[in-house]
Structure 1
Amino acid sequence: MQKQSIKQQIDLPATIAKSWRLLTESVYTKQYMFNCEVKSTWAMGSSVIWQGNYQGYEAYQKGNVLAIEPGRSLKYSTFDPNFGLEDVPENYIHVSYHLKEKEGFTELTIINETFDGNKERLAHIRQGWEMVMAEMKKIMEAEKS
């Protein structure tokens, strides 16, 4: 398996506690993650389900919590069966969130790892997360005002 990763960073105008809720509560994820709600207990090994409807497309992704330090970091796997890929480990994406409190904001680092060697898929993921991060920032700015 050839591991590839992208690392992206954004400063959110919010506390770590608020930023953590943004990442883990479906009331927020639905606003920035292409109308998908996340469902999980956020316990180590628990399932992570993303569900929603985006522009007529029925979205569904599944995975598991791989590592968690509430309020600090989270790593989960995710697989979208709608892309026609086989449900095998190398087709799962690993997503990591790392939060660091700065003065007046939270630095959020997001790392996406793929294992299938597909550079086009990685470019698609990068583009999607750029859109997601812009929406995250807008949500936190609106809540701050």
Structure 2
Amino acid sequence: MAAPRRIVWDVLTSNGSRPEILFGARVESEWRLGSAITWSGEYEGRTFEDHGRIVELEDLQEPWRIVLTHFSPLSGLPDVPENYHSLRFELDEIDGGTRVTLDQDNNPTREAAEHSQANWAQMLRGVKTVAEREAAAR
């Protein structure tokens, strides 16, 4: 992303909704270690409210890593810990901007992993759009 790491971090960790990011889902969290996080909105005509917790946060001097748990009731699975994913975001400064790495674990099938990959890729494209727009405005 052609934006400084701080701007990308701020876009990733901001509350509210942006049409470009995650289908316009509304994100809510206190953005502190242990705090809850929710994503709510509509996906393919179905209302959803995904949820999780912030389980790791690395921002000593400059923010660079956050790990969240994530559960989606749309999965049809019971809301129990073994059905949660971990999402790990790492932001690395590179020449001209920031590289974002996102890993997700605990995909029950290859198809589920591909579906998640497509959704998170779309979300990251939205983060890129917003972060680059905000960087250009500064």
> When the two structures are superposed, what TM-score results if normalisation uses the length of structure 2?
0.85
Residue 132 (structure 2) pairs with residue 134 (structure 1): no
Q: Distance in 1 between matches of 2:79 and 2:105?
A: 16
The 8 Å contact of residues 52 and 60 in structure 1, kept in 2 or not, is answered as: yes
1:68 and 2:60 correspond: no
Please report how far the alpha carbon of residue 43 of structure 1 lies from its aligned counterpart in structure 2 after TM superposition.
1.4
1:88-127 alignment, distance < 5 Å: 88-114=80-106, 117-127=108-118
Instruction: Please report how far the alpha carbon of residue 76 of structure 1 lies from its aligned counterpart in structure 2 after TM superposition.
Output: 0.4
Partner of 2:31, secondary structure, is coil
| Structure 2 residue aligned with 1:18 | 7
The answer for unaligned runs of 5 or more in structure 1 is 1-11
CA-based RMSD = 1.9
Give the Å deviation of 1:137.
2.0
Unaligned runs of 5+ in 2: none
Q: Name the SS for the 2:48 alignment partner.
A: strand
Out of 76, 82, 85, the position equivalent to 1:84 is 76
Q: Which whole-Å CA distance do the structure 1 matches of 2:12 and 2:34 have between them?
A: 17
Distance in 1 of aligned mates of 2:128 and 2:105: 23
Q: Distance in 2 between matches of 1:68 and 1:26?
A: 17
User: Which 4+ residue blocks in structure 1 deviate beyond 4 angstroms?
Assistant: 27-30
Corresponding residue for 1:41?
A: 30
For the structure 1 residues 28 and 52, does the alpha-carbon distance in structure 2 shift closer, same or farther, using more than 3 Å as the test? closer
TM-score, structure 1 length as denominator? 0.81
Q: How many residues align?
A: 133
Q: Which moved more, 1:18-27 or 1:52-61?
A: 52-61
